[in-house]
Amino acid sequence: MPTTLLVWFRNDLRIRDNEILHEAAQRADRVLPVYCFDPRHFAKGRWGFDKTGPFRAQFLIESVADLRGSLQERGTDLIVRQGPPEDVIPELVKAHDVTGVYVHKEVGTEEEDVEQAVEQALAPTDAVLQYRWGKTLYHADDIPFDTDGIPKVYTPFRKKTEKQASVRATFPAPDALAPLPEGLDAGAIATVEGLGLKPAAIDDRAVLDFTGGETAGLERLQQYIWQQDLLKKYKKTRNGLLGADYSSKFSAWLAHGCLSPRTIYEEVKRYEDERVSNKSTYWMIFELIWRDFFTFITRKYGARLFYQSGPMNRAIDWDENPEAFERWATGTTGFPFIDANMRELNRSGFMSNRGRQNVASFLSKNLNLDWRLGASYFEAKLLDYDVGSNWGNWAYNSGVGNDPRNRYFNILSQANRYDKKGAYVKHWLPELQELPADKVHTPWELSDSEKSMYGLHGGGYPEPMIDLEASYERLRNG
Ligand SMILES: Cc1cc2nc3c(=O)[nH]c(=O)nc-3n(C[C@H](O)[C@H](O)[C@H](O)COP(=O)(O)OP(=O)(O)OC[C@H]3O[C@@H](n4cnc5c(N)ncnc54)[C@H](O)[C@@H]3O)c2cc1C
């Protein structure tokens, strides 16, 4: 009797360094690769924002299509269904005598709920859900901590992990796979409209023309590291705001699993051997360990990561002010540095790390609004949304997470430091185009005649929504 194993793809939309695909292909005569467009991912979240907005939905669709193409090249196909995995998977298991289901373990309460639902739905069958770990650079079994013992702070996590663990080698992609059973309909890939979303085109001003899928992810890796030779100066450029080159832009491919962190690691090591090894090459690995940290933190704190008091259980008296939130979300706060970043997010699904830190600090510290509104909004908009990196960073920047210092950003100093000439602000706020560099971050200081001269009269740009200094005074007094 030929054996059939089912490979359930989720945030691991790749054929290279994919342990579940590799192992199932080794063990079984036939593999059923499955992807489910789960309607829960396209519903509204608790605060009324899309769980997945159109930019990420489009990226996901492209990633699924690319995976299907790679599987077809190897002789099989990707079975695509629209429905909850706990309905789809047991049906396929029963219809095709599947003896085991392979899946990569996720973190995050919603993700784990689905795993449990699938386990339960499989209970009456002979197939067992088999978990493998494939999300992080360091394997969950190799880090020198058990889940409860993950340090609260990044540095001890990184230092001990680097000292005591090593990164496992990547798995090769399978060469060939047996075709799907005859008569089994592979199914159509969803469309953005079919998922109930209104398609939206990414603005031409975006940092990159992001295309989903392993093929495009590997191309970006080649381009960033090898063709453009950018890795050797990453540490110096990574706080940039404009264009494709200041940082790797790997995040959307990592979030969907089109690229694995170990694949990036191997390329960094090869680059270090063949070209140059310096602080910048190491810093890429350093940042990937941040990603690991937030993944393991998410695993450790479970539902607490999503509580108002965050993983550190800090009670903060947040204000409720829907109008203020709306101005933050739409990039109409009257503070150009915040507005430019929010408009970039809204129009392209991307924002630099520097921008993310500043807008998060502005929402939670200057406006004193519940940080979870911001995190949920980012969840809807980001191309690279990842449960741990998003909620972990938001909690961190809002004073309820894993930042031992509980800092806030001075947005004007940040703007003057990282956007000295105002080029970034002008890129996303063309209404400020005519302003000289020393005025672009503080247009409220312009006299009436200057406003006229620079074309800012008649509602060209909003007045600041708060007294910034007063908000810093409040923060300083604690
Ligand atoms: C409020 C807030 C929300 C965020 N939400 C997300 C999110 O949903 N998804 C996401 O991938 N990143 C998130 N980040 C982290 C970071 O901003 C992005 O990973 C980074 O900007 C993506 O650009 P890049 O790939 O060019 O990064 P690079 O600077 O080139 O870094 C390389 C990779 O390292 C990882 N990395 C870098 N910085 C961080 C960090 N602070 N935390 C975790 N991983 C990091 C990412 O995987 C990134 O792709 C968030 C940061 C903040 C402050």
Instruction: Name the percent of the chain lying above pLDDT 90.
Output: 95
Helices (H), 166-260: 214-221, 234-237, 251-255
Ligand 1 pocket member 291 (CB < 6 A)? yes
With 80 as the cut, is the pLDDT of residue 478 above it? no
Which residue puts its alpha carbon closest to atom 24 of ligand 1? Answer: 249
State the residue for tokens 């709920």: 113
Ligand 1 pocket mutation, candidates 306, 389, 396, 409, criterion most atoms within 8 A of CB? 389
pLDDT higher than threshold 80 for residue 458: no
Residue 177 has pLDDT above 90, yes or no: yes
**Alpha-carbon distance 201 to 272, whole Å?**
38
pLDDT at site 405: 82
Write the pLDDT tens digit of every residue in 277-302: 999 999 999 999 999 999 999 999 99
The DSSP H or E segment spanning 36 is strand 30-37
| Tens-place pLDDT, residues 126-144 | 999 999 999 999 999 999 9
Phi-psi region of 389 (alpha: psi -120 to 50; beta: other; left: phi over 0): alpha
Which residue reads 């008091």 in tokens? Answer: 309
Question: Residue 459 has what pLDDT?
Answer: 66
**Given a cut of 90, is residue 114 above it in pLDDT?**
yes
Does ligand 1 lie within 6 Å of residue 390's CB atom?
yes
CA of residue 389 to ligand 1 center, whole Å: 7
Cα–Cα distance between 137 and 171 in angstroms, integer? Answer: 13
- CA distances, 143 to each of 10, 165, 276 (Å): 23, 6, 28
pLDDT confidence tier of residue 192, bands split at 50, 70 and 90:
very high
- Identify which of 356, 360, 334 has the alpha carbon closest to the alpha carbon of residue 463: 334
| Cross-sheet strand order for the sheet of 4-9 | 79-82, 30-37, 4-9, 98-104, 128-132
HSE-up of residue 431 (Cα within 13 Å, Cβ side): 16
Residue 58 pLDDT class (50, 70, 90 cuts)? very high
User: Per the structure block, which two tokens stand in for 297?
Assistant: 């933190």
Rounding to the nearest 10 degrees, give the CA dihedral for residues 415, 417, 420, 423: -50
Q: Is the dihedral of CA 252, 256, 257, 262 positive or negative?
A: positive
Strand, helix or coil at 115? helix
Distance, in Å, from the CA atom of 409 to the CA atom of 365, rounded to the nearest integer, reads 9
How remote is the C-alpha of 138 from its chain's centroid? 18
Phi and psi for 35 in degrees, rounded to 5?
A: -130, 135
Is 127 touching ligand 1 by the criterion CB < 6 Å? no
Residue 456 has pLDDT above 90, yes or no: no
Q: CB-based contacts of 118: which residues, under 8 Å, 6+ apart?
A: 8, 85, 86, 89, 90, 101, 103, 129
Residue 1 scores a pLDDT above 80 = no
Tokens of 361: 């600090």
Is a pLDDT exceeding 80 seen at residue 349?
yes
| Residue 169 CA, distance from chain mean position | 24
Quick check: 73 pLDDT over 80? yes
Band (455; pLDDT cuts 50, 70, 90): confident
Whether the Cβ atoms of residue 212 and residue 256 lie closer than 8 Å to each other: yes
Mean pLDDT of the chain: 96
Per-residue pLDDT, 471? 96
Contact 197, 55 (CB under 8 A): no
Residue 385, Cβ density class (10 Å: 0-12 exposed, 13-18 middle, ≥19 buried): buried
Spatial separation of the C-alpha atoms in residues 80 and 33, rounded to whole Å = 9
Q: Can you list the domains of the chain with their CATH numbers?
A: 4-132 (3.40.50.620), 135-170+211-301 (1.25.40.80), 322-476 (1.10.579.10)
Q: Is the CB of 280 under 6 A from ligand 1?
A: no
- 276 half-sphere exposure, CB direction, 13 A CA radius: 12
User: What is the pLDDT averaged over residues 253-267?
Assistant: 98
Cβ 251 under 6 angstroms from ligand 1: yes
> Confidence band (pLDDT; 50, 70, 90) for 457?
low
Residue-wise pLDDT for 422-434, tens only, equals 999 999 999 999 9
| Position in ligand 1 atom list of the atom nearest CA 293 | 43
Ligand 1: atom nearest CA of 387 is 8
Q: Label residue 43 by pLDDT band (50, 70, 90).
A: very high
CA distance linking residue 367 with residue 391, whole number of Å: 19
Q: Whose CA is nearest to atom 49 of ligand 1?
A: 251
Q: Is the CB of 247 under 6 A from ligand 1?
A: yes
Q: Which residue has the tokens 């995040």?
A: 251
Say which residue, 405 or 168, is predicted with more confidence.
Answer: 168
Q: How far is the CA of 209 from the centre of ligand 1 (A)?
A: 18
Look at residue 406 and tell me whether its pLDDT is greater than 80.
no
